[in-house]
Amino acid sequence: MSEIRDENADAVRPFDADTDAELAWKAAELVTGWVSVSTPLTEDQGWTLVGLQHMGSGQGEMYAWNKVGAWRRQLSEALAADDGSEESRHRVTEAKRAATSAMRDMLLAGIPAGVATNRIWSDGLGPDPCEELRRFVETHSGRVA
């Protein structure tokens, strides 16, 4: 007697590095804009970012939480150090660019991590991590990603 399985259970979402990277970059730009000197990242926003990284375990989520916290602190410190001078504005621009790149890398790593987590915990039928990231961008930008 053969095991009956959903034919999509073993299907792997085609990896499109360009599309995934573009989507992660858009999300990272949005998230970087959440942080300012007067407005810190909220706990809900932080956990949303942790969820998009699809760590697959409580220990992994705490690791991601610490990475997000360090990312926020670095960006906040750079923004707080802006004294309005040309040199300071340049440092802030570079800090924002670095923060956006770092967040993009975290979110981009969440796509294959989400695929792996789905295979382990959801028999391959869990939510598509790229689609989750797309919905995140659409929700927070008001535009279709």
Q: How far is CA 115 from CA 59, 65, 66, in A?
A: 18, 20, 22
- CB proximity list for 97: less than 8 A, separation 6 or greater: none
Between 125 and 23, where is the model more confident? 23
Q: Are 131 and 111 in contact (CB under 8 A)?
A: no
The pLDDT-based confidence of 116 (bands split at 50, 70, 90) is: confident
102 membership: H or E segment, kind and range: helix 86-121
Half-sphere exposure of 82 (CA within 13 A, CB side): 18
Q: Which residue has the higher pLDDT, 54 or 126?
A: 54
Average pLDDT over residues 66-92: 95
Q: 104 pLDDT exceeds 60?
A: yes
pLDDT-derived band of residue 15, with 50, 70 and 90 as boundaries?
Answer: low
pTM here is: 0.81
Residue pLDDT, tens place only, 46-62? 999 999 998 888 899 99
For the record, the structure tokens of 6 come out as 């959903």
Average pLDDT (109-116) is: 89
Residues 6 or more apart from 79 whose CB is under 8 A from it? 35, 36, 37, 92, 95
Q: Model confidence at 11, in pLDDT bands (50, 70, 90)?
A: very low
Is residue 41 left, alpha or beta, with left meaning phi > 0 and alpha meaning psi from -120 to 50? beta
How is the chain split into domains, by residue range? 17-141
